[in-house]
Amino acid sequence: MLKVNVNLCVGCALCAQVCPQGAISLIGGKAEVDTSKCDSCYWCLEACPRGAISELIIVSPEELRVTVSTLKRQTDDIIKRINRLATKV
Ligand code: SF4
Ligand code: SF4
């Protein structure tokens, strides 16, 4: 799901011009995305000169726990490899 940071949006409408789905409107000088029309091509993210559009990824606590645990395991593995290499030098 896309979110427009209204504090960054300057209402230039570049995002609306590139959107192939006509999913972006300027309301009160700020971009708004109609998520029911959006097909997630992300052209608007690339077009915005202010970085005002970002994607919100909603994850459950369980998905977050698994991701953090996997990253921790991978980090521990990398540290072990670095330590092994350091002892050989
Ligand atoms: S391109 Fe960015 S700054 Fe311009 S209207 Fe869209 S969101 Fe706002
Ligand atoms: S991701 Fe693509 S379809 Fe969705 S609002 Fe942006 S430009 Fe339009």
pLDDT 10s digits, 43-73: 999 999 999 999 998 899 999 999 999 999 9
Which pLDDT score, from 0 to 100, does residue 78 have? 97
23 lines ligand 2 (CB under 6 A): yes
CB within 8 A of 52, min separation 6: which ones?
Answer: 4, 5, 6, 8, 9, 10, 31
Parse the chain into domains and list their residue ranges. 1-58, 59-89
Distance CA 45, CA 10 (A): 14
Which of these ranges, 7-11, 23-27, 28-32, 57-61, has the smallest mean pLDDT?
57-61
Question: What's the fold here for domain 1-58?
Answer: Alpha-Beta Plaits (3.30.70)
Q: Whole-number mean pLDDT of the chain? A: 96
User: 21, 32 in Cβ contact below 8 A?
Assistant: no
54 lines ligand 2 (CB under 6 A): no
Comparing CA positions, the residue from 33, 55, 58 lying closest to residue 45 is 55
Per-residue pLDDT tens for 10-19?
999 999 999 9
9 lines ligand 1 (CB under 6 A): yes
Is 90 exceeded by the pLDDT of residue 88? no
- CA distance readout (Å), 71 to 23, 40, 60, 61, 68: 36, 27, 17, 15, 5
Distance CA 89, CA 82 (A): 11
